[in-house]
């Protein structure tokens, strides 16, 4: 589908990012050409360079924008809570809710990490670690207060993150389960998992 | 790295599959050319066609072989157990152990599902469903016997599978945690998650 956009400013920039996300999601970064991308937004390749310098910049901007938004939104979701169990409930609800509506971003954030140049890779992985650390800290606080029992907090956090992010691969908003049902069940499972028998 | 292989028989077939897996894992299916693949195994493109018909066949064979081995090995791991809790312990240990040694296969089984032609896609997704159904059945038996409590067995199964498969993205055999430690912690978390408070 060709999307025609104005030739200037943030509208074009947004159209390029949306088209880039779609193309990388469908075909992969290595297989996407800037010619194809220009075609998708109704620009000549030459004009595309007024908006993005390289294909690598586009990929980096997509992943960087995704991670920055995610971190900002998480901080809002966790604001003003000091109780680890409450924080974990909020984390689960936030993570599932945020991810089920951004399947393409989540997919390329995993499948195209390999395509980032070393400096870019380090930045994106650093942001991911920052996100993971928020969850690790919640679990560690819970362990310190005696309400959670886990062998190793980072290992517990990686497991929980994988479980919650996995919803992107199977959850359908029009399926038999609502997002609220899903969040209720996964909140219960995650709390049981870390609270122990 | 170029690997030279004999020009006949199963050795070449294996070398082609190994090289194909490596190239798809590093660059993506759409970006891999048969010329590149032939170069990796020290064959002319013309000779490659004696071993594989199309790039699509190669991808399908890789994913099909992976899923068939996985299902066979799971059946062995679960053989002669009728207790849901014991079966779930075996499932966790089996799944983690099998997956941490096959990261490339697991990666392309997720990232390149999009690249399968419709008939091939249906076959691979059917095999995956068969694997998922084994876990769903274990959970349902546990619920029926009153030892597990979950809202919805398939949703619980998808969460557990994502958590366990996620180890491929972060576990390092030379890290601070052994595979046995990992399996112990994840077995406890999964059992707690489904047994409830």
Q: What is the mean pLDDT of residues B153-164?
A: 97
CA distance B147 to chain A (A): 12
A43 within a domain of the structure (yes/no): yes
CB contact under 8 A, B152 and A181: yes
Condensed to tens digits (0 to 9), the pLDDT of residues A155-175 reads 999 999 999 999 998 998 888
Say if CB A139 and CB A158 are below 8 A apart.
no
Q: Give the tokens for residue B39.
A: 């170069």
Radius of gyration of chain A from its Cα atoms, rounded to whole angstroms = 19
CA distance B160 to chain A (A): 6
pLDDT higher than threshold 70 for residue B2: no
Give residue A173's pLDDT: 85
- The partner residue sitting opposite A31, judged by closest CB among B28, B158, B169, is B28
* Closest Cα in chain B to A129: B170
For residue B122, the number of C-alpha atoms closer than 13 Å in the C-beta half-sphere is 2
* Closest Cα in chain A to B114: A26
- The partner residue sitting opposite B196, judged by closest CB among A29, A31, A192, is A192
Considering only CB atoms, which chain B residues are within 8 Å of A99? none
- What is the number of CB-based contacts under 8 A between chain A and chain B? 119
A1 within a domain of the structure (yes/no): no
CA distance A10 to chain B (A): 30
Do A172 and A84 share a domain, yes or no? yes
Cα(A42)–Cα(A4) distance, integer angstroms: 5
To the nearest whole number, what is the mean pLDDT of chain B? Answer: 92
A111: three-class secondary structure by DSSP: helix
- Flag whether residue B29 sits within 8 Å of chain A, measured between CB atoms: yes
Q: How many domains would you assign to chain A? A: 2
Condensed to tens digits (0 to 9), the pLDDT of residues A29-74 reads 998 999 999 999 999 999 999 999 999 999 999 999 999 999 999 9
Do B59 and B41 share a domain, yes or no? no
Cα(B189)–Cα(B87) distance, integer angstroms: 15
Do A111 and A159 share a domain, yes or no? yes
DSSP tag of A115: G
A4 pLDDT tier (thresholds 50, 70, 90): very low
- CA B28 to chain CA centroid, nearest Å: 17
B1 within a domain of the structure (yes/no): no
Q: Give the tokens for residue A168.
A: 């992107």
Give residue A80's pLDDT: 87
Instruction: Output the furthest CA–CA distance in chain B (Å, rounded).
Output: 63
């Amino acid at each position: 589908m060709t999307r025609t956009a104005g030739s200037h400013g943030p509208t074009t920039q947004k159209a390029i990012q949306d088209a880039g996300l779609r193309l990388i999601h469908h075909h992969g970064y290595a297989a996407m050409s800037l010619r194809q991308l220009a075609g998708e937004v109704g620009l000549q390749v030459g004009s595309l360079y007024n908006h993005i310098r390289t294909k690598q910049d586009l990929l980096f901007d997509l992943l960087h924008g995704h991670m920055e938004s995610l971190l900002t939104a998480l901080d809002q979701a966790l604001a003003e809570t000091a109780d680890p169990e409450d924080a974990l409930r909020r984390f689960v609800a936030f993570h599932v809710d945020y991810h089920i509506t951004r399947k393409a971003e989540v997919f390329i954030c995993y499948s195209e990490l390999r395509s980032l140049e070393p400096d870019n890779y380090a930045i994106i992985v650093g942001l991911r670690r920052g996100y993971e650390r928020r969850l690790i800290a919640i679990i560690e606080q819970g362990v310190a207060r005696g309400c959670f029992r886990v062998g190793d907090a980072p290992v517990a956090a990686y497991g929980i993150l994988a479980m919650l992010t996995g919803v992107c691969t199977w959850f359908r908003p029009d399926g038999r389960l609502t997002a609220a049902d899903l969040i209720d069940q996964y909140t219960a499972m995650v709390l049981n998992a870390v609270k122990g028998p």
